[in-house]
Amino acid sequence: MANASQQKTPVGFWASSSDRHSILEDIQGVVAGSMLAALGVTLLSSAHLLIGGTAGLGFLLRYSTGLSFGVVFFLLNLPFYWLAYRRLGLAFTLKTFAAVALTSVLTEILPDLVSIGEINPLVAALFGGLLIGTGMLALFRHRASLGGFGILALYLQDKFGWRAGLVQLALDGVVLTISFFVATPFVILCSILAAVTLNLTLAINHRTDRYIVR
């Protein structure tokens, strides 16, 4: 008779195994990660802060043109899905598309549902960065991301073993450098704090050799 360590629970809509999430767990992870990320974006937006990645580009376009962040964020991510499909598979791509779409929708409706008054930019940076980082961590652990640079960071981690958080931190630096043309030094300083908080959350908590569930 096989012992308990040799027995496996079948993976299905509800049941999961020690090395693979169930469908229900993946749904919960994608929804929870998107909700946390959208709330973090709302905090940053309330303080007129920026962030790195395609979200940062979305903020830059919103502040400079008045375009909807949710729509811009969704459109900016479209070119990255081909890389996701080719390098990380169909399941990753579909879950990432769902996460990006849900986050885009939530960032549009949350300001009408949650009223945020005056908020200190430093507090917004810390809590916003932590919320987005935690949301991305949930998505990463369910083999999804918020698209854009996150896809590239995960690919480089899978391919070369580079920490996803540190890779994204470098890419975010490029976006934040561009922000010097549209924001004040204090806003940029707070935005850098948000980016560092976000990416340190990923770098410290997301390692494929510690968390291997797919």
Cα 190 versus chain centre, distance: 19
The separation between the first and the last C-alpha atoms of the chain, rounded to the nearest angstrom, is: 28
Question: Is 138 strand, coil or helix?
Answer: helix
Q: Specify the pLDDT at position 13.
A: 56
Q: Of 39, 57, 46, which Cα lies nearest the Cα of 182? A: 57
Q: How far is 131 from 123, CA to CA, in rounded Å?
A: 12
Question: Is 162 strand, coil or helix?
Answer: coil
Q: Specify the pLDDT at position 5.
A: 43
Written as one string, the DSSP assignment of 60-100 is HHHHHH---HHHHHHHHHGGGHHHHHHHH-HHHHHHHHHHH
Q: Specify the pLDDT at position 209.
A: 57
In this structure, what token pair is assigned to residue 43? 């905090």
Q: Of 21, 28, 40, 16, which Cα lies nearest the Cα of 131? A: 40
Place of tokens 């200190």: 120
In this structure, what token pair is assigned to residue 6? 């040799």
Q: Specify the pLDDT at position 211.
A: 54
Q: Specify the pLDDT at position 213.
A: 44
Residues in a beta bridge with 17: 20
Sorted by sequence, the CB contacts under 8 Å of residue 39 that are 6+ apart come out as 106, 110, 114, 131
* Residuewise pLDDT in 10s, the chain (214 residues): 444 444 444 555 555 555 576 788 889 999 999 999 999 999 999 998 988 778 888 888 888 888 889 999 999 999 888 878 887 789 989 999 999 999 999 999 998 898 888 899 999 999 999 999 999 999 988 888 888 887 777 777 777 888 877 887 787 777 877 888 888 889 989 988 998 898 889 888 876 655 544 4
Question: Is 120 strand, coil or helix?
Answer: coil
